Structure 1
């Protein structure tokens, strides 16, 4: 039965479904990291043409479920400012349909993440309405080309709030809107979503289970420990992006 989920083998499909549980739990408990881990794993077994659109739809389900489960904690003012940028970024991505030079983009994202974790704080205007619109546009555009913009969005969300539940809830809501645009972008580009529909739906369902497990763990973690974990997960992901960027620059 599992072989009918996608063009991949039954064993690979099962592995991706189980990984969806794990990565959704990680994102719910640590606030970030699941989407990036998932796309790195998917890149090992999926064709490049399907990687970003399939990952985007799975992450839409995972983040959407987390946003629904934590809706009382969502910072609606940040989401309202983020959404216009998402729309602008999606329109730009659908028009450009290009990739930036291999390696350069990963290094830029990693530098931003490391700065947000360990550098001096950004001025308050960076998290104001204009800064939020710009962040929404840029991260949506980048997400369409590299798949996982979560570390960059999470870094921005981190600047605007300190409590763990509003941070997780607001991040999930912003990412839900961002991933939703990929249906438009890649549908416009001609990607056939129905070939991967079974796998996407089962991975989304598995993601709901992972989110439930992760949120149970989140409620047991203090704000101080959560901030420590959140910062170090971001840092490790940034180091991974640096490694990947250097590799790609060398290959290019």
Structure 2
């Protein structure tokens, strides 16, 4: 217990370590939901100013592990062009984030996710490098305003035909984003060292969850995966809309 953060009760630390396993398994199996569940739990037991950077570091390990497990399924052209657009989008979004109405964009993202869950698939996104780069720009810029990037990016990935390609490419993109996030928090002065043992334990249990979730994904048929994915996407969209109207 001496390795755990002094400002966090040991029972809460153990809860987060266990939660990392289940949330990583959820994302590895169904593509989304785990990160949102984990940050909701972390901010309920930790100071948000600490929870957000620690969550970014844990998600780096979780997404990185998923990208390694599914490495052969990553769609590299999409990753490259989407990543280029995202780099520009982060720079632009960071400059204008404070000028834009967060609740409006949260509601628009919620509506977009409902569309991607129930409307025609955005197949054009994965066919054109320019459209892919612009999509990356848009998603990254909006995420700087609202902070929701995982479900938004996954919505654009639905045009991929294979569920394993969706999971793998999403993991690679989120890994790149988490690297930038951790570097940014480090430059801003956040002391990760004090939370490093907790982070490493959460990454370890998260990787075990990824292995379990990957086996679950392989056991799912494509139609069943799409149904569960659509349900999770809809629930996340409704959560965003409720947040908007509650605010």
**Could you state the TM-score of these two structures normalised by the residue count of structure 1?**
0.88
Find the aligned partners of 1:94 and 1:193 in 2 and give their Cα distance: 23
| Structure 1 stretches of at least 4 aligned residues deviating more than 6 Å after TM superposition | none
1:179 counterpart residue number: 178
2:218 counterpart residue number: 219
Could you list the per-position Cα deviations for residues 179-200 of structure 1 after superposition, in whole angstroms to 9, with x for gaps in the alignment? 1110232233332222322222
1:37 counterpart SS class: helix
Unaligned stretches of 5+ residues in structure 1: none
- Indicate how the Cα distance of structure 1 residues 177 and 169 shifts in structure 2: closer, same or farther if over 3 A, else same: same
| Residues 1-252 of structure 1: pairs in structure 2 closer than 5 A | 1=1, 4-5=4-5, 7-92=7-92, 98=98, 100-122=100-122, 124=124, 128-144=128-144, 146-159=146-159, 161-248=160-247
Could you list the per-position Cα deviations for residues 192-247 of structure 1 after superposition, in whole angstroms to 9, with x for gaps in the alignment? 22232222221111110000010111111001111111111111111111111211
2:189 counterpart SS class: coil
Root-mean-square deviation over aligned CA pairs: 2.3
1:135 counterpart SS class: helix
Worse overlay, 77-86 or 209-218: 77-86
* 1:172 Cα offset (Å): 0.7
Find the aligned partners of 1:144 and 1:197 in 2 and give their Cα distance: 26
Query: Between Structure 1 and Structure 2, how many residues are aligned?
Result: 247
Give yes or no for contact 1:114–1:235 (8 Å, CA) kept in 2: yes
Could you list the per-position Cα deviations for residues 108-139 of structure 1 after superposition, in whole angstroms to 9, with x for gaps in the alignment? 21111111111234472586222322332333
Find the aligned partners of 2:99 and 2:114 in 1 and give their Cα distance: 23
Give yes or no for contact 2:121–2:158 (8 Å, CA) kept in 1: no
Find the aligned partners of 1:50 and 1:138 in 2 and give their Cα distance: 28
Give yes or no for contact 2:125–2:156 (8 Å, CA) kept in 1: no
Unaligned stretches of 5+ residues in structure 2: none
Give yes or no for contact 2:4–2:195 (8 Å, CA) kept in 1: no
Worse overlay, 78-87 or 117-126: 117-126
* 1:93 Cα offset (Å): 5.4
Find the aligned partners of 1:36 and 1:156 in 2 and give their Cα distance: 18
Worse overlay, 184-193 or 210-219: 184-193
**Could you state the TM-score of these two structures normalised by the residue count of structure 2?**
0.90
